[in-house]
Structure 1
């Protein structure tokens, strides 16, 4: 009498091993993605958002004071010269002079390229900073005061796009 052939095909053991391997890979991949998402971006654009929230009324009052100034600003970056230029004008289109400007340039998604920038008045109402920026998205945050170390009278937050090879 000949031995009966072993059954071929998928058995319960094969299905169990397949499910364990599939879900193991999924959990490992998701865990890795969550780790990198949490460790590379804090989600906030201010160093202490809780404290900022506590001072909400003061923030609103400062925004109203800034709006009352009626200033307009233009930001431009010349990659060839490595120069960031800000132009400030008042409601009558006259240049705003004598400001003390300080700011930061940050990448929107990572903090590794963040840098502080200082501006000097180059012409009436025109302030420049010599800074080399790589291509991509940048966020410019500037605070201006009418004198060195004074309270900020104007805040600017503007996104800059530096084109590849421009």
Structure 2
């Protein structure tokens, strides 16, 4: 006596449908992951990192020139006064005066709160900018030159943390 065939056996058609569904789900999931990876934060902190890499030797030379100045800079944010303060001193701890500063405040992960800030010399070696910052992490990028529109002499990048509450 011969065995009766199974009424519900797996056929080539079932295998094909299973493979199409499996790979369809994989393509959709990978497509979503690629979309979100490309459309969110790129991880770069410069607008054109490729060009910066091409000029890497010039970047190193500028950093050496900046180190040769012997300047130091401190940055802090006073929430009650809504003010960013920069203190510049030279290698002899004397205040550095007469700088033209251009700055930018940005969030580390998003660019929706980025803003340009202008600094004025408040006292010798102390530069201030009146700006109100929301609580959280901020990155302050400042370029200084000896004259307005001149080539940068000193670059500063500091992280400011604004506390939540008074």
Structure 2 residue aligned with 1:3: none
| Aligned partner of residue 92 in structure 2, secondary structure | coil
| Aligned partner of residue 53 in structure 1, secondary structure | helix
Mapping of residues 94-113 of structure 1, within 5 Å: 94-113=94-113
Structure 2 residue aligned with 1:9: none
Structure 2 residue aligned with 1:55: 55
Separation of aligned partners in 1, 2:80 and 2:27: 47
Q: How many angstroms does 1:36 deviate by? A: 3.1
Structure 2 residue aligned with 1:126: 126
Structure 2 residue aligned with 1:80: 80
Structure 1 residue aligned with 2:162: 162
Separation of aligned partners in 1, 2:100 and 2:93: 20
Separation of aligned partners in 1, 2:106 and 2:80: 20
Separation of aligned partners in 1, 2:142 and 2:127: 11
CA RMSD of aligned residues (A): 2.5
- Which piece of structure 1 moves more, 86-95 or 32-41? 32-41
Separation of aligned partners in 2, 1:105 and 1:31: 34
| Aligned partner of residue 50 in structure 2, secondary structure | helix
Change (3 A) 1:28 1:129: same
Q: How many angstroms does 1:121 deviate by? A: 0.3
Give me the TM-score of the superposition, normalised by structure 2: 0.81
Separation of aligned partners in 2, 1:88 and 1:38: 39
Structure 1 residue aligned with 2:44: 44
Q: Deviations over 1:1-55 (max 9, x none)?
A: xxxxxxxxxxx9xxxxxxx999988876665454334212122111111111111
Gaps of 5+ in 1: 1-11, 13-19
Gaps of 5+ in 2: 1-9, 11-19
